[in-house]
């Protein structure tokens, strides 16, 4: 089978298309013939070596993929050959609270991932893909959508009528926008681009703030809520945006700390966090159960589809990462492995 490996040392220039032997499933495992993969900022960091500099190489990167079950190991009963399945981001975390062991089972590092024609997964580490979603659409869900679901619903307990602020218009943020709207919440989006804000409004966002033109976007967001503050912030910026997120949040509100696009370390003034009883919740993707809940919610909202920016052929995987690096995308970038 063909697979991309990060080979020798980290760096996009070392992402190499190679030939590997076909995979054989052990007891409780299944081999999936992948049809499509989607890429996340994490995958780019993994390739660059900034996500986990100690990651052993060679590694097949990319956490998210969908495909058909090709071969079953001994004792497998949950799926059958031919089932179209979505691989879970964390192979060993299906429900409940995380443990160190459970959260060290993610695809695309430390385990080999989905930028390949085949992948070996656990039988409980896949969920059937609904017929309502194309391969490309289903491939977008395991990391970005489950993260947004965990932040707002699984952990955030979002209620109808609440206000959610989502930062930017990347994969996680647009899923958060869609999930918030499904649950009857008001959404404020920030973006570096006025054109992207228009597109976010077409997806259901109520308000948009250009964070480049308005560095005090947290204050602007609070003003949009009659100075009450938003109930929930989907924080993908991290260190460089946290201060404005605190300004945007109402007393008792939640900041879901998901990404560090604007830095991972900073001096934070913690006083307003405690003086306003703000909850800061770290989010590390989520469980297989959350993927199931997300699919159930999408089944009742059939008009809500993952937003796909661009689909690249398998042979152009490096270009797909170049597109992600460029930051011009709106939503998800997909790599089609086979038709
Ligand atoms: N903790 C987890 O489990 C988890 C899961 C998934 C992702 N993440 C992290 O979450 C972040 C986003 O991931 P993604 O896959 O959604 O990335 P993505 O698709 O590449 O989206 C990035 C978008 O974020 C916006 N952005 C960039 N810098 C920003 C800033 N300083 N302030 C506000 N917005 C900014 C930009 O939107 P505009 O172009 O509209 O300005 C950009 O398009 C990454 O750090 C990723 O590693 C974490």
Number of independent structural domains in the chain: 2
Same domain, 115 and 28: yes
User: Ligand 1: distance of its center to the CA of 261 in Å?
Assistant: 6
HEC secondary structure over the chain: CEEEEECCCCCHHHEEEEECCCCCCCCCEEEEEEEEEEECHHHHHHHHCCCCCCCCCCECCCCEEEEEEEEECCCCCCCCCCCEEEECCECCCCCCCCCCCHHHCEECCCECCCCECEEEEEHHHEEECCCCCCHHHHCCHHHHHHHHHHHHHHCCCCCCCCEEEEECCCHHHHHHHHHHHHCCCEEEEEECCHHHHHHHHHCCCCEEEECCCCCCHHHHHHHHCCCCCEEEEEECCHHHCHHHHHHHEEEEEEEEECCCCCCCCCCCCCHHHHHCCCEEEECCCCCHHHHHHHHHHHHCCCCCCCCEEEEEEHHHHHHHHHHHHHCCCCCEEEEECCC
The closest-lying atom of ligand 1 relative to the alpha carbon of residue 196 is 40
What confidence score (pLDDT) does residue 268 get? 87
pTM equals 0.97
Same domain, 42 and 175: no
User: Ligand 1: distance of its center to the CA of 40 in Å?
Assistant: 9
What confidence score (pLDDT) does residue 303 get? 84
What confidence score (pLDDT) does residue 302 get? 83
Residues spanned by the domain of 271: 156-282
The pLDDT tens digits of the residues spanning 289-322 come to: 999 999 999 999 988 899 999 999 999 999 999 9
Determine, yes or no, domain membership for 150: no
Asked if the model's pLDDT at residue 264 lies above 90, the reply is: no
Same domain, 93 and 112: yes
CATH of the domain at 12: 3.90.180.10
Confidence of residue 266 (pLDDT cuts 50, 70, 90): confident
Domain boundary among 262, 282, 302: 282
Residue nearest to atom 10 of ligand 1 (CA): 259
């Amino acid at each position: 089978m063909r697979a991309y490996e990060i080979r020798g040392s980290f760096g996009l220039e070392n992402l190499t298309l190679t030939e590997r032997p076909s995979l054989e499933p052990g007891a409780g495992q299944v081999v999936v013939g992948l049809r499509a993969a989607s890429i996340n900022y994490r995958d780019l960091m993994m390739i660059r070596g900034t996500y986990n500099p100690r990651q052993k190489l060679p590694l097949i990167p990319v956490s998210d993929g969908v495909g058909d079950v090709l071969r079953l190991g001994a004792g497998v009963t949950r799926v059958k050959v031919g089932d179209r399945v979505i691989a879970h981001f964390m192979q060993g975390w299906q429900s409940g609270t995380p443990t160190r062991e459970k959260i060290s089972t993610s695809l695309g590092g430390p385990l080999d991932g989905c930028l390949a024609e085949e992948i070996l997964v656990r039988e409980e580490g896949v969920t059937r893909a609904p017929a309502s979603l194309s391969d490309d659409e289903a491939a977008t869900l395991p990391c970005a959508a489950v993260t947004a679901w965990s932040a707002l619903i699984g952990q955030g307990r979002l209620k109808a009528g609440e206000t959610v602020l989502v930062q930017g218009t990347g994969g996680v943020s647009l899923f958060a926008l869609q999930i918030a709207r499904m649950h009857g919440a008001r959404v404020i989006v920030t973006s570096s681009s006025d054109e992207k804000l228009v597109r976010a409004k077409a997806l259901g966002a109520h308000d948009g703030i250009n964070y480049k033109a308005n560095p005090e976007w947290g204050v602007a967001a609070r003003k949009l809520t009659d100075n009450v503050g938003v109930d929930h912030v989907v924080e993908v910026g991290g260190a460089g945006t946290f201060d404005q997120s605190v300004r945007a949040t109402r007393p008792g509100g939640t900041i879901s700390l998901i990404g560090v696009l604007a830095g991972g370390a900073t001096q934070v003034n913690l006083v307003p966090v405690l003086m306003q009883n703000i909850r800061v919740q770290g989010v590390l993707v989520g469980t297989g159960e959350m993927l199931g809940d997300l699919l159930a919610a999408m089944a009742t909202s059939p008009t809500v589809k993952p937003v796909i920016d661009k689909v690249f052929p398998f042979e152009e995987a490096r270009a797909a990462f170049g597109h992600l690096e460029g930051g011009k995308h709106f939503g998800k970038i997909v790599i089609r492995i086979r038709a």
